Structure 1
Amino acid sequence: MSAEALPVATPAQVRTYARRLIVRHPRALAGVLALHALAAATGLVTPRLLGELVEGVRDGHAAIDAVGLAIAGFVTVQAVLTRYAYFASARLGERVLAELREEFVDRVLALPLSRVERAGTGDLVTRASRDVDTLASSVRYALPETLVAVVVGGFTAGALLLTGPLVALPALVTAPLLWAVMRWYLPRARGGYLRENAAWSRIAAGLTETVQGARTVEALGLAGRRHARGDADIAESYRAERYTLRLRMVLLPAAELGLVLPVVATLVTGGFLYIHGHASLAQVTAATLYAQQLIEPVDIVLFRLDELQLGGASLARLLGVGHVPPDRAAGGRVPEGERLTARGVRYSYRPGQDVLHGVDLDLRPGERLAMVGPSGAGKSTLGRLLAGVDGPRAGAVTVGADGGVPLVELPLDDLRGHVALVTQEHHVFQGTLRENLVMARPGASDAEIAQVLEAVDWDGPGLDARVGAGATGADAATLSPAQAQQLALARLVLADPHTLVLDEATSLLDPRAARRLERSLAAVLDGRTVVAIAHRLHTAHDADRVAVVEDGRVTELGTHDELIAREGSYAALWASWHGTP
């Protein structure tokens, strides 16, 4: 099944979010703009003073010392104002960036698990790493510098116009060129950068799959195929980046040309106007200096515009995570009882290709049900539906008496109080072993934690040991895969849901250890409903009932002895398990 990329926010949604983000801090934003405006206004005095100085020198009555001191004073004031303006910009930018990151984490945590799995790890990892870093760079550097450049450029253009309309006109000589280039560039930039980021997502997904499945790749001789996949992903990324590079190769040279011509045009035209008496020497000097001053803000705007487009594409991808529709709608009903029932359940990963075909299953509260069957029969899929991770395409999985409440109508917090799933996949968070456990029940005492660890036959490090990827220090400990699986089971026991779905939850343990652990768990979980999906048939032997799943259907249901007596599929599996003909 190919990965299904997460959605991307539209330009209108990005603009709406950006406006909403700006108005959250009106006072801070007003302070930043005021400081930059004062700094820009202070910097506009020097060209006017120099223009007057040049004309005074020509006329022979220049006050050079006084003008020099005035220029030095204004430059000093401008430097101080600029320093505080950039400090205020940086502080506001970091605050906005922190809010963006926190909101992104909230959106990720709210994602339906089924949608995350369909998207694959590459897309989400790339958004959480590369897109966040790109947006951070835009917020820290491109956005404040562009804001400053717009303010400074606006004040400088106003000063140039006040110097004299005739000497100001030549500065507009490149406006048509820049307008045409921007009209060509902007519609293409967003799509180009979105394709570039999507290509990075595919590279990350391919690398993650290869690393996680390295042993399988080596065992099945798939290295050549994985190399080919990597080459294809890199080639696609290369094409996407070449496209955005071509955009920059048009934008930046045009920008450089547009920055030089206004100064030359102002100087030449100003000289012509001065010769014919239409402008004074002071006006020509000031206008030329203002045109020179316009170079930096315009250059910053055009140069940073490309980074803002890249940051905008990243923001669209981050906001898109929040536009994934929920996979459940709370119905408001409270289940009465803990009876788990599946009626007419059908499910498909692809339209028109059901993997479950009208499954009916009624779990008795407090019983242990083992689900067995050949690989690919639909056991894990049915387990996910019984745990409420996925919703059925047709039919319903309910909890409670008298028809019950569909699991997809329960909020996640309520759902996990009724039923929880433990699979072969698990994660050890960076922190102490105690912190890894109490996240299942924050108020758990050390005595309760010790009881839970004893229930899973824990033989690993103590509660204060630091575990997880990257754990360092004298108290750091590395958990084996089997210990990580025991930790996941301990969390589940501590969470204390009424119904547990265990999908090969002891697969990483050796058979003897698995057998011992299952017996320990049976004692702790006594009175709770347990659905155990297993290939080791001793689990089925110990269960109250056994469900045989074949081709997406429950073909046999009964006790171990009843199914052996029927001499059907289960009896054949049992005979094969024991090596009897």
Structure 2
Amino acid sequence: MAAAPAPPVTATTATTTTTATTQPGGREALPIATSAEVRQYAARVARIRGRDLVLTVGLFALAAVAGLFGPRLLGSLIDGVQKGTTAGHVDTIVALIALFLIVQTVLTRYAKLAAGKFGEGVLAELRENFVSRVLELPLSVVERAGSGDLLSRSSRDVDMLSMAARYAVPTTLVAIVTVLLTIGALALVSPWAVLPLLVIVPPIGVVFRWYMKRAPEGYLAESARYADLTDSLAETVDGARTVEALGLQRHRIERTDEEIRRQFAAERYTLRLRCVFFPTAESCYIVPVALTLLFGGLGYVHGSFTLGQVTAATLYMQQIMGPIDEMLAWADQLQVGGASLARLLGVAGVPADRQASGEQPEGEDLRATDVRYSYIPGREVLHGVDLSLRAGERLAMVGPSGAGKSTLGRLLAGIHGPTVGSVAVGGVPLVELPLADLRGQVALVNQEHHVFAGTVRENVVLPRPEATEEQVREALAAVDALTWVEALPEGLQTPIGANGQTLSPAQAQQLALARLVLADPHTLVLDEATSLIDPRAARHLERSLAAVLEGRTVIAIAHRLHTAHDADRVAVVEDGVIAELGSHEELVETGGAYAGLWDSWHGRGAAAEQV
């Protein structure tokens, strides 16, 4: 049999170690679990949900046994009619056949309920574990992988696994049990009746082995291509205004077409596997039935078998083809589900970027020591930054775009751990604090604000679900948001986000700041936190926030230099280092880079802010 061409695989397959791989565009894909890890997980689920699994298989086995009585009773009825029987005997046989059909129907119903419970339980546990692990992923890993990989795993792969867990696994187990029981029933009719089945074993075995050798890799490649396509489409949609402004429509269309071609090639490969596997297998089904009729007929003519035996054997042979067909049909879905499971479990293979030491900070001072950071190995963004902040100090970070301000801010907030060096609060490195404790110490608010589907109140209380109505209103008032929130149709209970009230970018930013007020950390990192609000309103908002932030350590990253003017100290970041550090007055008097920025902004930017 000619082998299909290898699929265009760039993702790690389920037969390799758990590792990250490179995607088109330089993105680093999330890891994929090994086949051994998938088997271990399946074995663990079988142990944990052993009772549900045994109940499911047991009920289906009983249903299969009930279904085996019909052909045998029908065969005995035929033999009885040949030899002479009574109407009462015929009625009894017919009644028994009807009874066993009813029993089989009832058992099948409850077996399917048990199978549904088993599948839903497995799926629910996997979803919970997946979501829990995703929420723990280091943000740097998610950023390197891109949104498409994670989106495809949390949507398409979950859906594919859902089919396997709900239907493929229980149905395959039931089919195996049914086939074994039916073979036993055939042997009881006559040992010769099993022989026609042996004829189809070699061709089905060969094509099944050929298929299984190629299917896992093919389906993993298909999922990887789907992730690339999703990522490309997400980038185009998110950056639609940039695409339009720069005239990149043709480029994005060509890139999407290329991703579609790659996806088509991957799906065509798996389709070819199915087009070889299924027709070959299904063409074998009629052979055992035909041989049973042929040999049974010859045996009946020569007096070796009764007509009832031939009838029962033929019915059993037809009956066994159904479960065999289901086994082979669901084998394909099991391969899809196995590939999806490997991708979902692979998320657990991402190493943590922090390890809790159990130490508690002694004080609230924040210190960065010889901090270096690289997004890509060998290409440093920060080069040995040293910075100390006293509790309650206000620091402004300024500098040109791309200088490393936001990167340093993320390290000071504990979002990333430094490649080299240390960022510590109260003497304890931020990466050694549990996430819950870290967010109670340091918080970051940047330009990216997400509005979750829910009410205004639910969005604000995310950091403190137990917050009272009064506390929520105080937080909103602190960021000048209470007035427009109260003007909404249902006030705090107004639905926002998906299918709810649409908020402007400035309003979404105010909600993010209200969350920050409610979280009440002692150190805040504000990365252009008021950039989406017009200058006059932003100035008013920052003054309102000043009262709330009193006594807290504040690190403000901004282009509006009035923030630097109001700060205790100013750090000028250039080319990944702190080029200047001091108060506004000291740096202006020095006449360095900050003085140049201040003169430029004060002469042109300040005037613009008055417009």
- When normalised by structure 2's length, the TM-score is 0.91
Structure 1 equivalent of residue 14 of structure 2: none
Q: How far apart, in 1, do the equivalents of 2:119 and 2:492 lie?
A: 38
1:448 CA displacement: 1.8
Structure 1 equivalent of residue 455 of structure 2: 432
Q: How far apart, in 1, do the equivalents of 2:456 and 2:29 lie?
A: 35
Letter in 2 for 1:413: A
Aligned to 1:548, the other structure's residue is in SS state strand
Deviates more, 1:255-264 or 1:480-489: 255-264
Q: Residue 346 of structure 1 contacts residue 392 of structure 1 at CA under 8 Å; is this kept in 2?
A: yes
Structure 1 equivalent of residue 464 of structure 2: 441
Structure 1 equivalent of residue 480 of structure 2: 457
Number of residue pairs the alignment of both structures matches: 574
Structure 1 equivalent of residue 29 of structure 2: 5
1:572 counterpart = 2:600 = no
Q: How far apart, in 1, do the equivalents of 2:544 and 2:107 lie?
A: 70
Equivalent positions of 1:296-307 (< 5 A) are 296-307=322-333
Q: How far apart, in 2, do the equivalents of 1:272 and 1:468 lie?
A: 77
Structure 2 equivalent of residue 38 of structure 1: 62
1:461 CA displacement: 2.1
1:580 CA displacement: 6.4
Q: How far apart, in 2, do the equivalents of 1:536 and 1:448 lie?
A: 30
1:467 counterpart = 2:495 = yes
Q: Residue 455 of structure 1 contacts residue 521 of structure 1 at CA under 8 Å; is this kept in 2?
A: yes
Q: How far apart, in 1, do the equivalents of 2:421 and 2:291 lie?
A: 76
For 1:240, which of 243, 261, 266 is the aligned residue? 266
Structure 2 equivalent of residue 529 of structure 1: 553
Deviations 1:143-164 (A, max 9, x none): 2222222222221111112221
Structure 2 equivalent of residue 105 of structure 1: 131
Aligned to 2:556, the other structure's residue is in SS state strand
1:25 counterpart = 2:53 = no
Deviations 1:433-476 (A, max 9, x none): 1111122112222222222111101142235333333344xxxx
Q: How far apart, in 1, do the equivalents of 2:586 and 2:35 lie?
A: 63
Q: How far apart, in 2, do the equivalents of 1:272 and 1:505 lie?
A: 89
For 2:244, which of 204, 209, 218 is the aligned residue? 218
Structure 1 equivalent of residue 235 of structure 2: 209
1:95 counterpart = 2:118 = no
Q: How far apart, in 2, do the equivalents of 1:127 and 1:104 lie?
A: 9
1:5 CA displacement: 1.2
Shift of the 21–405 alpha-carbon distance from structure 1 to 2, 3 Å rule, reads same
Structure 2 equivalent of residue 483 of structure 1: 507
Q: Residue 378 of structure 1 contacts residue 551 of structure 1 at CA under 8 Å; is this kept in 2?
A: yes
Q: How far apart, in 2, do the equivalents of 1:571 and 1:64 lie?
A: 108
Structure 1 equivalent of residue 567 of structure 2: 543
Q: Residue 118 of structure 2 contacts residue 166 of structure 2 at CA under 8 Å; is this kept in 1?
A: no
Q: How far apart, in 1, do the equivalents of 2:230 and 2:29 lie?
A: 13
Equivalent positions of 1:493-504 (< 5 A) are 493-504=517-528
4+ residue runs of structure 1 moved beyond 4 angstroms? none
Structure 2 equivalent of residue 397 of structure 1: 423
1:258 counterpart = 2:287 = no
Q: How far apart, in 1, do the equivalents of 2:343 and 2:213 lie?
A: 17
For 1:337, which of 363, 372, 376 is the aligned residue? 363
Shift of the 460–467 alpha-carbon distance from structure 1 to 2, 3 Å rule, reads farther
Equivalent positions of 1:176-195 (< 5 A) are 176-195=202-221
Q: How far apart, in 1, do the equivalents of 2:349 and 2:203 lie?
A: 39
Letter in 2 for 1:155: L
For 2:394, which of 368, 371, 379 is the aligned residue? 368
Structure 1 equivalent of residue 584 of structure 2: 560
1:66 counterpart = 2:72 = no
Q: Residue 430 of structure 1 contacts residue 466 of structure 1 at CA under 8 Å; is this kept in 2?
A: no
Aligned to 1:369, the other structure's residue is in SS state strand
Q: Residue 57 of structure 2 contacts residue 170 of structure 2 at CA under 8 Å; is this kept in 1?
A: no
Q: Residue 72 of structure 2 contacts residue 312 of structure 2 at CA under 8 Å; is this kept in 1?
A: yes
Q: Residue 135 of structure 1 contacts residue 312 of structure 1 at CA under 8 Å; is this kept in 2?
A: yes
Q: Residue 452 of structure 2 contacts residue 498 of structure 2 at CA under 8 Å; is this kept in 1?
A: no
1:160 counterpart = 2:186 = yes
Aligned to 2:216, the other structure's residue is in SS state helix
Deviates more, 1:81-90 or 1:271-280: 271-280
Letter in 1 for 2:332: D
Shift of the 171–545 alpha-carbon distance from structure 1 to 2, 3 Å rule, reads same
1:267 CA displacement: 1.4
Letter in 2 for 1:56: G
Structure 2 equivalent of residue 16 of structure 1: 40
Shift of the 199–550 alpha-carbon distance from structure 1 to 2, 3 Å rule, reads same
1:114 counterpart = 2:163 = no
Structure 1 equivalent of residue 311 of structure 2: 285
Structure 1 equivalent of residue 201 of structure 2: 175
Aligned to 1:530, the other structure's residue is in SS state strand
Aligned to 1:174, the other structure's residue is in SS state helix
Aligned to 2:603, the other structure's residue is in SS state coil
Aligned to 2:202, the other structure's residue is in SS state helix
Aligned to 1:557, the other structure's residue is in SS state strand
1:140 CA displacement: 2.0
Q: How far apart, in 2, do the equivalents of 1:283 and 1:335 lie?
A: 83
Q: How far apart, in 1, do the equivalents of 2:399 and 2:120 lie?
A: 55
1:273 CA displacement: 3.0
Deviates more, 1:91-100 or 1:447-456: 91-100
1:272 CA displacement: 2.7
Deviations 1:527-576 (A, max 9, x none): 10110011111111111111111110100111111111111111111122
Q: Residue 173 of structure 1 contacts residue 265 of structure 1 at CA under 8 Å; is this kept in 2?
A: no
Letter in 2 for 1:92: F
- When normalised by structure 1's length, the TM-score is 0.96
Q: State, as a whole percentage, how many aligned pairs show the same letter.
A: 62
Letter in 1 for 2:478: A
Deviations 1:284-338 (A, max 9, x none): 2211111100111011111111011101111111111122111001122211011
Aligned to 2:485, the other structure's residue is in SS state coil
Q: Residue 170 of structure 1 contacts residue 269 of structure 1 at CA under 8 Å; is this kept in 2?
A: no
Aligned to 1:237, the other structure's residue is in SS state helix
Q: How far apart, in 2, do the equivalents of 1:443 and 1:47 lie?
A: 66
Structure 2 equivalent of residue 417 of structure 1: 440
Letter in 2 for 1:451: E
1:167 CA displacement: 2.1
Q: Residue 454 of structure 2 contacts residue 497 of structure 2 at CA under 8 Å; is this kept in 1?
A: no
Q: Residue 56 of structure 2 contacts residue 170 of structure 2 at CA under 8 Å; is this kept in 1?
A: no
Structure 1 equivalent of residue 105 of structure 2: 79
Q: Residue 6 of structure 1 contacts residue 119 of structure 1 at CA under 8 Å; is this kept in 2?
A: yes
For 2:76, which of 36, 49, 52 is the aligned residue? 52
1:506 CA displacement: 0.6
1:92 CA displacement: 2.2
Structure 2 equivalent of residue 320 of structure 1: 346
Structure 2 equivalent of residue 149 of structure 1: 175
